[in-house]
Amino acid sequence: MPEVFVRGNDVARRFQTGIARVDALYPASFVVCGGDRIAIVGPSGSGKSTLLHLMADLDAPTSGELAWPALGISGTLRPTRIGVVFQAPSLVPTLSVVENVELPLRLAGAVTFARENALRALRTVGLDPVADKLPDELSGGQAQRVAVARAIVTRPRLILADEPTGQLDQRTAEETIDALLAATEPTGAALVVCTHDSSIARRMRMTWQMDHGRLHAPNVGTAHTGTASGPDASSAERR
């Protein structure tokens, strides 16, 4: 039985600004298990980032329940168990590239080999030569790859990457996905990637489709409302 890393039961997120209301995620049920490779695809504004932030425990659902049974996340453990690549630029501008990558290790108190591990993560994305630069001195694509290095530096069990290849040419995009897969495959970690790029989605084993806040994914429990697609679609059975 694969370990359940994230389980969502009827999870919904509504944003309310004054009288304006957006149902970014209608009630959705899903699981992410160890070893999963999931692409979340869908048009702009369909709720992909909203779902990813909920799975990262960076946002709270308006209703429904989320649990991380096999990750045991709480407090300072979260940055080491879940690695997140944000869609928007997220590097700390006053820290060098290598200091940015070290940050999750330092926050978790793992300071001893922080520099070595950060440089190794930068090497995996081909950016060790810019270790001492400031984020402002990088191209958008380089900054995105530094964010990937920061997400994998703690060897997390779950990697959640929001458009990690959005600003990259096809070859660099493939290399970045290679780095994310290399960081997950040997350890049985799970990888969830939001992407508009069908060639990146094909590198995952399963595709979850989002449309106007509705998730079509392998559901758990009795309220089955969607299907998985892709070569691993039958894995919905094991859940």
Ligand X SMILES: Nc1ncnc2c1ncn2[C@@H]1O[C@H](COP(=O)(O)OP(=O)(O)OP(=O)(O)O)[C@@H](O)[C@H]1O
Footprint on this chain of ligand X (rule: CB under 6 A): 15, 17, 22, 24, 42, 44-50, 87
Give the nearer residue to ligand X in terms of CB position, either 87 or 96. 87
The entry of Mg ion, ligand X, none that residue 109 binds, CB within 5 to 8 Å by partner kind: none
Q: How far is the CB of 63 from ligand X (least distance, A)?
A: 16
- Number of amino acids touching Mg ion (CB under 5 A): 3
Under the binding rule (CB under 5 A), the answer on residue 195 touching Mg ion is no
Let me know: does 203 contact 192? Beta carbons within 8 Å: no
The entry of ligand X, Mg ion, none that residue 50 binds, CB within 5 to 8 Å by partner kind: ligand X
Length of the chain: 239
CA-nearest of 91, 80, 95 to 141 is: 91
- The sign one gets for the Cα dihedral 202, 227, 187, 129 is positive
Convert 9-21 to b/e letters by CB count within 10 Å (16 or more is b): bebbbeeeeeeee
What is the contact mask toward Mg ion in residues 75 to 94, using x (rule: CB under 5 A)?
------------x-------
The entry of Mg ion, ligand X, none that residue 47 binds, CB within 5 to 8 Å by partner kind: ligand X
Q: How far is the CB of 172 from ligand X (least distance, A)?
A: 20
The entry of ligand X, Mg ion, none that residue 172 binds, CB within 5 to 8 Å by partner kind: none
Contacts of residue 183, defined as CB under 8 A and 6 or more positions apart, other chains included, come to 83, 124, 152, 155, 159, 189
Q: How far is the CB of 157 from ligand X (least distance, A)?
A: 23
The single-letter DSSP state of residue 229 is B
The amino acid sitting at 162 is D
Among 9, 29, 46, 49, binds Mg ion (CB under 5 A): 49
The entry of Mg ion, ligand X, none that residue 112 binds, CB within 5 to 8 Å by partner kind: none
Strands of the 20-33 sheet, one edge to the other:
20-33, 4-17, 63-67
Q: Which residue of the chain is nearest Mg ion when measured via CB?
A: 49
The entry of ligand X, Mg ion, none that residue 79 binds, CB within 5 to 8 Å by partner kind: none
CA-nearest of 207, 196, 200 to 175 is: 200
Q: Binding residues for Mg ion, per CB under 5 A? A: 48-49, 87
